[in-house]
Amino acid sequence: MPDSPPAAETKQPPTKEPESSVAAPAASPVEKKPKTKRYVVIGAVALLLVAGGLIALRFVHRGLPEGLIQANGRIEGDRVSVASKFPGRIARLLVREGDSVTNGQVLALLEDTQLQAKVSQAQAAVTALAAQLKAAQTSLEVMKLDVPLGIEIADAGVAKARAVLAKATAGDQQAGRDAKRFRELLATGSVDNHRSEMSELAATAATSELEAGRTGLIHAEKQLAQFRLGEARIQAQSDGVAALAAQLDQGRAVQAEAESVLHDLTLVAPISGIITTRVRDTGEVIAAGSPVFDLVNLDRLYLKVYVPESQIGKLRLDLPARIHIDALPDQSFPATARYIASRAEFTPKEVQTPDERVKLVYAVKLYLTENPNHRLAPGLPADAVIRWQEGIAWQNPKW
């Protein structure tokens, strides 16, 4: 019994020491528990904020009501290349990039020294042919008057020759009869020899006159035949006039061709618009068809936008649209959908979409109905709102 208290006293310190050693570490979890809850609350709030931000961002991206689609892109235009139909050296350039031009305005001039010489040569040939044609026509007119008159004179000559021949024939016959009668009388001695000789001489003279009359008739008939050939000469002259007229037409065609080529060495604007690119410079030699300027019609601009694959099925041609630019936030420009691509493509880098996960988009061209004061120009970024459902009020794009 006396030994029990000391044993108890010796065992108590070890018992208290573990209690004190255990009690000290037990205080740490109690102190860390409020901090853990605070971290959980902060994490939850952060997640809620992120989720709320994503929801808010998604709501902003999809802030337009059903029936409207927003898209963005850059304004473009139908480009026209101004080129020369013929090769040559550029003599002068009269416009630069950014200049506004009107239809028919002279933009550039090519060297035309050789063409000017060809035009002058063609003009000289035409002048010579025209003079030859005029002379031939005058000669033809004279022949048309001279030939009938000659035929009439020749006809009269033939008639006269025939009359002379008839008279000579009659005289010859009478002289022959007289000479025969005087010969018979001379044989009977009724007349003297002198009278018989005179009758013989008269018969001989009458025969000569008959031969002369015959010769005169032949000559008159030949003259008549020669004048009648004038009709053939008139036809030949008419053919010559026609040939000269054809040559004159050919010469005029050559002149017109040379003048046309000379005219084409002056480059003019085919439409009204703005010069976007000047491809060549003064002094350069260009080939036929080589472009010198690029021209855009500011009255036929369009906005090329890209619509996500999930929304392209809502669009169709002729849908109305409104185009907005940052420089004029309170003004919109009406447009119409005129082109929808048939194939999808990857989203261009400069184009933003409501959902950044969208990779495939379709190109859509929205042609502007008007461009007042030409405020819109190619290359200008713009936003668009397309209305695919009627009755929906227009709203500005929300990105």
Residue range 1-59, pLDDT digits in tens? 334 444 333 344 444 444 443 344 444 444 444 555 565 556 655 565 544 444 333 43
> How many angstroms separate the Cα of 214 from the Cα of each of 160, 203, 218?
11, 16, 6
Q: Which of 126, 89, 123, 92 is nearest to 106 (CA)?
A: 92
Per 3-state DSSP, the chain is made up of helix, strand and coil in percentages (nearest 5) of 55, 25, 25
pLDDT the model gives residue 199 = 79
Q: What percent of the chain has pLDDT over 70?
A: 81
Q: What is the pLDDT of residues 116-153, one digit of tens each?
A: 999 999 999 999 999 999 999 999 898 888 888 888 88
Between helix 230-264 and helix 113-188 the angle, nearest 10°, is: 180
pTM for the complete prediction?
Answer: 0.54
The band of 365, judged by pLDDT with boundaries at 50, 70 and 90, is: very high
Q: Is the alpha carbon torsion for 213, 217, 218, 220 positive or negative?
A: positive
Q: 65: which DSSP letter?
A: P
Span 102-106, mean pLDDT?
93
Span 180-206, mean pLDDT?
78
Largest CA distance in the chain: 248
Q: What residue has token string 């037990």?
A: 26
Residues 91 and 106 sit within 8 Å (Cβ to Cβ): no
Q: Is the pLDDT of residue 97 over 60?
A: yes
> What's the rounded Cα separation, in Å, for the pair 340 and 319?
11
Delineate the domains of the chain, giving CATH numbers in brackets.
68-108+274-387 (2.40.30.170), 116-261 (1.10.287.620)
Q: 314: which DSSP letter?
A: G
Helix (H) or strand (E) holding 345: strand 345-346
Residues 295 and 269 sit within 8 Å (Cβ to Cβ): yes
**Encoded tokens for 77:** 């235009």
> What's the rounded Cα separation, in Å, for the pair 30 and 23?
11
Residues 311 and 361 sit within 8 Å (Cβ to Cβ): no
> What's the rounded Cα separation, in Å, for the pair 26 and 33?
12
Task: Compute φ and ψ for 383, nearest 5 degrees.
Answer: -110, 155
First to last CA, the chain: 94
Q: What residue has token string 């009278």?
A: 195
Q: What residue has token string 């007349």?
A: 191
**Encoded tokens for 399:** 């990105």
Helix (H) or strand (E) holding 292: strand 291-308
> What's the rounded Cα separation, in Å, for the pair 387 and 218?
106
> What's the rounded Cα separation, in Å, for the pair 214 and 359?
117
pLDDT the model gives residue 37 = 57
β-pair type (328-340, 266-268)? unpaired
Residue 84: count other Cβ atoms within 10 Å of its Cβ. 21
Of 39-43, 215-219, 266-270, the least confident: 39-43
Q: Name 125's Cβ contacts closer than 8 Å, sequence gap at least 6.
A: 251, 254, 255
The band of 377, judged by pLDDT with boundaries at 50, 70 and 90, is: confident
